[in-house]
Structure 1
């Protein structure tokens, strides 16, 4: 088994003419989207492939070490940005191919008008133990 992270990116602006930004969805469309995500997670719990997931608030803070003892803090990222991480899910699956299969299914979550949004999900493996060389 190998763990993979699915990063869910929210696009503040439409990626194509047919896309509707989430800020313009109705409350019912948002509820249907969240229900799809929860049902997907519940199904993966039953197969033992679900680890965890979380939606993220659209506001945040940037922090970095400045070498002087107190890290500088700035506003951002902002919901108005072109691309914002909206949430994540961790799965534990048998193969990379299974991770891609699940991410493809998750990207079909409904959006405006109940149509699949076909969003891009970033699929990242967890850093594992490096293979050792034996002689």
Structure 2
């Protein structure tokens, strides 16, 4: 088994399919989207492939140590781009191919009009421990 992080990118622009930004969805469309996400997670819990998931607030801050003890704070989470990490899910699957399959399925969550939003998902494997060399 290998763990993967699925980062859910909300691009802030209309989706490629329905041209309606998420902030203009109806309450029913938001409910349908959330139900899809919850049902997806529940199905993966049953197969043992679900580890955790969280949605993130749109607000954020960048902090970086400045070498003098005062961490500068910058508006974020992505001041120079329209991308926003809307949330994440961790899965534990048998193969990279299975991770790609699940990411594609999650990307098809419904949006406005019930059409798949084709959400951008970043698939990142967890770094595993480097092998120890003994001589």
Length-normalised TM-score, structure 1: 0.91
Q: Secondary structure of the residue that 1:88 maps to in structure 2?
A: strand
* Partner Cα distance (2:14, 2:60) in 1: 22
Length-normalised TM-score, structure 2: 0.91
Alignment root-mean-square deviation, CA = 2.1
Query: Could you tell me how far 1:76 is from its partner in structure 2?
Result: 1.9
* Partner Cα distance (1:104, 1:12) in 2: 20
Q: Secondary structure of the residue that 2:130 maps to in structure 1?
A: coil
CA deviation profile, 1:86-117 (whole Å, cap 9, x unmatched): 00000000000000000010001000000011
Q: Secondary structure of the residue that 2:70 maps to in structure 1?
A: coil
What is the aligned length? Answer: 135
Structure 2 residue aligned with 1:40: 40
Q: How does 1:44-63 map to 2 (within 5 A)?
A: 44-63=44-63
Distance change (3 Å), C-alpha of 1:92 and 1:71: same
Q: Secondary structure of the residue that 1:12 maps to in structure 2?
A: coil
Query: Could you tell me how far 1:130 is from its partner in structure 2?
Result: 2.4
**Mind listing any 5+ residue stretches in structure 1 that lack a counterpart?**
none
Q: How does 1:1-135 map to 2 (within 5 A)?
A: 1-14=1-14, 16=16, 18-77=18-77, 81-132=81-132
* Partner Cα distance (2:110, 2:43) in 1: 17
* Partner Cα distance (1:45, 1:23) in 2: 30
Q: Secondary structure of the residue that 1:101 maps to in structure 2?
A: helix
Distance change (3 Å), C-alpha of 1:3 and 1:20: same
